[in-house]
Structure 1
Amino acid sequence: METLIRKAEILIEALPYIQKLYGKTVVIKYGGNAMISEELKNSVMEDITLLKFIGVNPVIVHGGGPDISKALKLHNVESKFINGLRVTDEQTMEVAQMVLVGKTNKEIVSLLNCKGGKAIGFSGIDGRLIECEKYKTTVNGEDIDIGFVGKITKINTKMLELVTRDEYIPVIAPIGVDKDGQSYNINADTVAGAVAAALKAEKMMLLTDVEGIKYSKDSEEVIYEAAIEEIHKLLNDGIITGGMIPKVLGCIEALEQGVNRTHIIDGRIPHCILLEIFTNKGIGTMIRK
Structure 2
Amino acid sequence: MTAAVSAPQSASAAADQSASAAVSASTEMAEATRKAQVLIEALPFLKRFHHALVVVKLGGEPIEHPAVLDALLTDLVWLEQVGLRPVLVHGGGKSISRAMEAAGLKPTFHKGRRVTDAETMAIVAREVERLNVHLVDRILALGGAAIGLCPPRHRVVSGTVLDPDLGLVGNPSAIDRERIVRYASRGLIPVIPPLSVDHDGVLMNTNADDIALAVATGLSVEKLVFLSTVPGVLTDPKNPATRIPSLTASKVRALVEQGVITGGMIPKVESCLAALAQGVRKIHIVAADQPHALLVEIFTEDGIGTELVSEAA
Normalising by structure 2, what TM-score?
0.84
RMSD: 1.9
Letter in 2 for 1:37: H
Distance in 1 separating the partners of 2:267 and 2:127: 21
Question: What is the match of residue 262 of structure 1?
Answer: 283
Work out which of the residue numbers 57, 81, 97 in structure 1 matches 2:125.
97
* Structure 2 counterpart of 1:72, from 88, 93, 100: 100
Q: How many residues align?
A: 281
Write the distance in 1 (CA, Å) between the matches of 2:244 and 2:203: 37
Give the counterpart letter for 1:280 in structure 2: E
Structure 2: which 5+ residue stretches go unaligned? 1-28
Q: In the TM superposition, what whole-angstrom CA distance separates every residue of 1:22-60 from its partner, at most 9, and x where no partner exists?
A: 010000001243211111111011101111110000000
Task: Confirm or deny: 8 A CA contact 1:26 1:56 kept in the other structure.
Answer: yes
Deviations 1:175-200 (A, max 9, x none): 11111221111110110011011111
Deviation at residue 245 of structure 1 after TM alignment: 4.5
What is the rounded CA distance, in whole Å, between the counterparts of 1:198 and 1:22 in structure 2?
19
Bigger Cα Rg: 2
Cα deviation code 1:4-26 (max 9, x no counterpart): 22212211221111111101000
Cα deviation digits, residues 65-96 of structure 1 (max 9, x gap) = 11111101112222233443222222222111
Higher relative contact order (CA 8 A, sep 6+): 1
- Identify which range, 86-95 or 165-174, moves more after superposition: 86-95
Equivalent positions of 1:28-43 (< 5 A) are 28-43=56-71
CA contact (8 A) 1:124 1:131 kept: no
More moved, 188-197 vs 210-219: 210-219
Secondary structure, in 3 states, of the residue corresponding to 2:301?
coil
Q: Greater shift after overlay, 212-221 or 178-187?
A: 212-221
Counterpart pick for 2:145 among 97, 107, 118: 118
Matched, 1:197 2:217: yes
* In structure 1, distance between residues paired with 2:214 and 2:40: 33
CA distance in 2, matches of 1:111, 1:198: 27
Structure 1 54/24 Cα, relative in aligned 2: closer, same or farther at 3 Å? same
| 1:211 aligned partner | 231
Q: Superposed, which structure 2 residues align to 1:1-289 within 5 Å?
A: 1-101=29-129, 103-123=130-150, 125-136=152-163, 145-217=165-237, 220=240, 221-235=242-256, 239-289=260-310
Shift of 1:252: 2.1
Q: How many angstroms does 1:288 deviate by?
A: 0.6
Q: Secondary structure of the equivalent of 1:46?
A: helix
Residues in 2 aligned to 1:169 and 1:185: alpha-carbon distance in whole angstroms: 22
Kept in 2: contact 1:32–1:208 (CA 8 A): no
Structure 1 runs not aligned, ≥5 long: 137-143
* Percent identity (aligned): 37
Structure 2 SS opposite 1:55: coil
Contact 2:235–2:261 under 8 Å retained in 1: no
Residues 244 and 35 of structure 1, relative CA distance in 2, 3 Å threshold: farther
Alpha-carbon contact 2:61-2:94 (below 8 Å) kept: no
Give the SS at the match of 2:133.
helix
Q: Distance in 1 between matches of 2:122 and 2:255?
A: 36
